[in-house]
């Protein structure tokens, strides 16, 4: 297991990401929550691809975090600020 997804959409996103990097992947919903403390959908890869899959997912998560941060900064911008005024 490489990750737990909170929902099917996230699981499918992981599946697409891993497959695009030539990593075989299976997603499976946890049927018996008492077997694990973590609830969700298991994203699984063969053991020989586990390290590579972790790197791919972590890299994508870091990119997504950066993109979210950039959008937050853009939303805070004020395009009516004085820097755009014509004081020539």
- Spell out the domains of the chain, with CATH numbers in brackets: 3-75 (3.30.70)
pTM: 0.64
Percent helix / strand / coil, the chain, rounded to 5: 55, 10, 30
DSSP 31: S
Pick the more confident residue, 9 or 67: 9
User: What's the token pair of residue 8?
Assistant: 């099917």
Distance CA 17, CA 10 (A): 10
> For residues 6, 63, 12 and 17, what is the CA-based torsion angle, rounded to 10 degrees?
-140
Mean pLDDT of the chain: 78
**30 pLDDT band (50/70/90 cuts)?**
confident
Residues 6 or more apart from 46 whose CB is under 8 A from it?
24
């Amino acid at each position: 297991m490489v990750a737990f997804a909170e929902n099917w959409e996230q699981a499918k996103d992981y599946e697409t990401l891993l497959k695009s990097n030539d990593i075989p992947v299976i997603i499976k919903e946890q049927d018996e929550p008492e077997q694990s403390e973590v609830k969700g959908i298991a994203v699984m890869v063969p053991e020989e691809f586990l390290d590579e899959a972790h790197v791919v997912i972590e890299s994508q998560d870091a990119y997504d975090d950066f993109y979210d941060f950039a959008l937050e900064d853009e939303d805070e911008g004020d395009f009516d600020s004085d820097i755009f005024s014509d004081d020539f």
